[in-house]
Each structure stands twice: as structure tokens, then as C-alpha cells.
Structure 1
Amino acid sequence: MPIAKNTICLWFDKDAHEAASFYASVFPDSHVDAVHTAPADFPGGKAGDVLTVNFTVCGIPCLGLNGGDTFSQTEAFSFQIATEDQAETDRYWDAIVGNGGQESDCGWCKDRWGLSWQITPRVLTEALVATDAGVRGRAFAAMMTMQRIDVAAIEQAVARN
């Protein structure tokens, strides 16, 4: 397998393989590509422990590094997943939150490893970049009242004159 020119590296305490397997089970075009063990003891573990996991999330190459508890995830990095409808939005949201994650505002949620996800219906993204300032404003105002994005409510807000 060729090495990608650019790979997102995500720091985990010790659960990179478990997280990568979960992402592969939830999102399309996602899979675990390789698991590598440490050749010697390291600050977060021992020789033979899983050190890195190469995986893909929605076609994006990632590397999970089991580096120990020195660093934790932050909302400064998130995956933004575009969804087509409410059913797809609900499926991803429920998978992340239902697996030990937590809800946040404006379509954001956090998985049990602390990684942030934006589950964003295309109708919202399109409204937020519309040429009509009224559409942008109404969509934004509606979004600001939500945790999980309600597609019908966004469509209704956009349709109002």
C-alpha cells in the first residue's frame, strides 16, 4: 500500500484500533488498513502493544497513534460529514452518541474517544452559503437552536420569506 502524501494523524491514549474499527463500521468508504505494533517499549506502552493504526474515514487516510495520555482530542479538529437527508444524519449521530459519545450544539457531537464530528446535512451547508442573505440568516438562526440538525426545520426556515 503506497504511503499517502498527506495523512491525518490522530493521537489516542491506547484505543486507536478500537476507534478505527468503529469508524470503519459506521461510515462509507472507511476501513482499517493496517495495525502496527511497537518494536520496543515507548512512553505510552510496551513492546508488542499496538502503536499505530492506518485507517480511512470516508476516503480520507488517517493514522491513529497510541501515544498515551499526554495529549487529548480538542474541538479545534473535527471531521465534517455531509449527509443527504434526515435518515443519514440520524444514523451517524446515533452511532457516535450511542457509542459513549456526547451531543453538542449546531450539528456537532463528540465520540467516546473525544474526537469531534460535525454531522451536517447538505441542505444546511447550501443554505449557509446561499447568495440570498435572508436565506443564510434564517438557516443560521435555525441551526443555532439545534444540537442534532433537523433537516425539515432547516428547509422550513429557508423557505420562509
Structure 2
Amino acid sequence: MPRIQTITPCLWFDHQAHAAAQFYCSVFEQSHITHISHYGKAGFEIHGRPEGSIMSVAFELDGQGFSALNGGPLFSFNEAISLQVHCRSQAELDHYWNALGFGGPPEAQRCGWLKDRFGLSWQIVPQCLTPMICDPDPARSQRVMQALLGMKKLDIATLQRAFDGKS
């Protein structure tokens, strides 16, 4: 029996939950919207949303469940939370960087981090990064950190050269 996901990130949007879910599902393979709920008459005095408008969208990105809520302008995303995408290759890293970063603020791009056009922060990182920066040899891990801190989009070959002491 497959394990049921017990923790689902809920992303708060003003009114763009459906557009955001559609966008994210277009970026990640094996992704789809699973449910859409709508506001009714109940609670209008609290939420102020028109009856029939989209309240929430449940979706999966490569098997990971998410919920997107049209909760109004009260809250917005900030860098205190980000979603990490662990990439197997530079081509995969480039794909996610270009797709998710398109339309986002360029000034938010640094050290493998970016913001998408909805304001959500992402970390687009190679799978090899964690073993490199956790290497027991501090000289190796510090060379990788130094290289990483000088990048916007991460470059796996440059990180590997720094790790190997060939930069």
C-alpha cells in the first residue's frame, strides 16, 4: 500500500492560485491538478470572495502534493521559505532555472535562488551540491562555497572544479 503524504505545503495567493498551479504543472513532468474547490455563499462576510470563484487548487509536482489557496492580499511570499529542486544534470538545472525564473525579478537571482513571477522563492541546485559542501575536508567544501557565492545560476562543472581544487 503506498504511503499517504501527511505534510502538504499550502501556498497562499491573492487570486492567482489556479494560474500558478497550471504554470508549475507545465514546468515539472508527471504533474497535474487533482482538485479545484470554489467559494460559496458561506463565509462571505469573512473571505469576501465572490461565490463560484476558485478557493483552492490541489496539485502534484512530480508526485509531491501541494495546495494553492486564493486567500486575498493579506499575505505574500518572502525568502523565509523556498522550494528546492534537486537536479541530476546541468541541462535539467538550466531547464528549471529558465522556466521558473521567467518573468520573476532578476535581482532575486543569486547563489542558485530565484523568485518566480508569483513571488515564490526556489532553489535550483544540483544533487551533487550537498555532498560537496558537507565534505569532511574543509578546504574542499569552502572552495565550493566560495564558487557558489559568486554565481547566480549554479554551474555544476565550475562547482566540481572548485571541489577538485582546479578552479
* In structure 1, distance between residues paired with 2:10 and 2:117: 18
Normalization by structure 2: what TM-score? 0.88
Q: Which secondary structure state, in structure 2, belongs to the residue aligned with residue 117 of structure 1? A: strand
Deviations 1:29-63 (A, max 9, x none): 32211111111235352110000000112322111
**Superposed counterparts of 1:124-135, under 5 Å:** 124-135=129-140
**Superposed counterparts of 1:24-63, under 5 Å:** 24-40=25-41, 41=44, 43=47, 45-63=49-67
- Aligned pair count? 158
Q: Which secondary structure state, in structure 1, belongs to the residue aligned with residue 100 of structure 2? A: helix
Please report the RMSD computed on the Cα atoms of aligned residues, expressed in angstroms.
1.6
- Select the residue among 126, 143, 164 that pairs with 1:159: 164
Unaligned runs of 5+ in 1: none
Is this contact kept in 2: 1:78–1:115, CA < 8 A? Answer: yes
Unaligned runs of 5+ in 2: none
> Match for residue 151 of structure 2?
146
* In structure 2, distance between residues paired with 1:129 and 1:28: 30
Shift of 1:155: 0.9
* In structure 1, distance between residues paired with 2:97 and 2:89: 12
Q: Which secondary structure state, in structure 1, belongs to the residue aligned with residue 125 of structure 2? A: strand
Quote the sequence identity (%): 41
> Match for residue 17 of structure 1?
18
Deviations 1:105-161 (A, max 9, x none): 110000111100000011222211112211110110000001100111101101117
> Match for residue 95 of structure 2?
91
Is this contact kept in 2: 1:123–1:154, CA < 8 A? Answer: no
Question: 1:102 aligned to 2:105?
Answer: yes
* In structure 2, distance between residues paired with 1:157 and 1:50: 48
Q: Which moved more, 1:41-50 or 1:70-79?
A: 41-50
> Match for residue 66 of structure 1?
70
Normalization by structure 1: what TM-score? 0.91
Residues 153 and 4 (structure 1), Cα distance of their counterparts in 2 relative to 1, 3 Å cut: closer
